[in-house]
Amino acid sequence: MKPSQSRSMGKIKPCFYRRIFVLLLILFSAGSYGADSPWNGKSAAVSLTYDDALGVHIDNVAPVLAQNDLLATFYVTSNSWPLRSRLDDWRAIATSGHELGNHTLFHPCAGDKPGREWLNKELYLNEWSEQRYIGNLNINNTLLQALDGKTERSFAYPCGDTEVAGKSYVETITPMFTAARMVGGTPPTIDKVDLMRIPSHMVMGDSAEKLISLVEAGIKNHTWVVFLFHGVGGEHGLNVSKEAHAELVNYLGKHKKDVWIAPVTDIANYVKDKQKAKK
């Protein structure tokens, strides 16, 4: 080795270590969730979900989403009249890129819980067998596939109920869906997401300010905020005004820089990849 080479190596060394340090830093950042922008490079994630296949979802929701170029998840109960009577409209919703999620064929719920007086006895999930219930979900998946051509979708527990015949069915349906949405709970950070138990905020007469404040909290806490809507401008007892809903959607349309707004399955697949990489 020439003395000049040795001198130059001596000069290179600190630079070399600096490079290694930077490389390690990059590798470390890639392996982590990214402290300030863990959600696909954004501070928070938001999913807008609409349950029970109502006509107002076609008439009052889809146009506002389209104006803001946003995609959502519609949890479809195929026995609903607005689904059966407006198949072309639902097909158009799927073609626009929205997710059609499974919300069972008949919407059975536990009949032995308080406040379930409205429920038809035929739909008492606590009196169904698991086999009957899974068949119900399979047929709904098939109907939805006939509408959107997809074999991958998420699920929303009807009435938030996770038991059939007194036993949890969460594990049984895990291979059938990308994720499953619960009713209620606290928005999780990406490392805390349980894909078969995704919390949601059920909207009941909320003001636009209240809805927007939940997104702002998501941005601050880096969480996945999932909104659960039923009626939007009517058609369901659990309702929000058309105006408040539009104000939230318009707000989201203006904050795409900070918030990743996407259907549940898109975000669930992202979470799955990140959680796998972290293991």
Binding site for Zn ion (CB under 5 A): 51-52
Residue 179 CB, nearest approach to Zn ion (Å): 17
Q: For residues 99 and 65, what is the distance between their CA atoms, to the nearest angstrom?
A: 13
The residue type at 81:
W
Could you tell me the smallest distance in angstroms from the CB atom of residue 275 to Zn ion? Answer: 28
Nearer to Zn ion, 43 or 104 (CB): 104
Report, in Å, the least distance between residue 124 CB and Zn ion: 15
Helix (H, G, I), strand (E, B) or coil at 153: coil
Residue 48 falls in which region: left (phi positive, over 0), alpha (psi -120 to 50) or beta: beta
Nearer to Zn ion, 51 or 161 (CB): 51
Among residues 43 and 49, whose Cβ is nearest to Zn ion?
49
Q: At its nearest, how many Å lie between Zn ion and the CB of residue 241? A: 20
What is the H or E stretch that residue 248 is in? helix 242-254
Residue 267, judged by CB atoms within 10 A of its CB (0-12, 13-18, 19+), counts as buried
Give the residue with the Cβ less far from Zn ion, 52 or 266. 52
Q: Could you tell me the smallest distance in angstroms from the CB atom of residue 247 to Zn ion? A: 24
* 3-state SS, residue 202: strand
Task: Pick between residue 52 and residue 161 the one whose CB is nearest to Zn ion.
Answer: 52
Helices (H), 32-156: 55-56, 62-67, 81-84, 87-95, 130-148
In angstroms, what is the minimal distance from the CB of 236 to Zn ion?
9
Would you say 108 or 218 has its CB closer to Zn ion? 108
Residue 200's identity, in one-letter code, is S
Tell me the closest approach of the beta carbon of residue 79 to Zn ion, in angstroms: 11
* Residue 249, Cβ density class (10 Å: 0-12 exposed, 13-18 middle, ≥19 buried): buried
Report yes or no: 266 and 87 within 8 Å, Cβ to Cβ: no
For residues 203 and 239, give the distance between their C-alpha atoms in angstroms, rounded to a whole number: 7
Minimum gap (Å) between residue 158 Cβ and Zn ion: 5
Cα 14 to Cα 4, 9, 11, 17, distances in angstroms: 17, 9, 7, 5
Query: Among residues 175 and 237, whose Cβ is nearest to Zn ion?
Result: 237
Residue 43 or 77 with smaller CB distance to Zn ion: 77
Report the residue number whose CB is nearest to Zn ion: 51
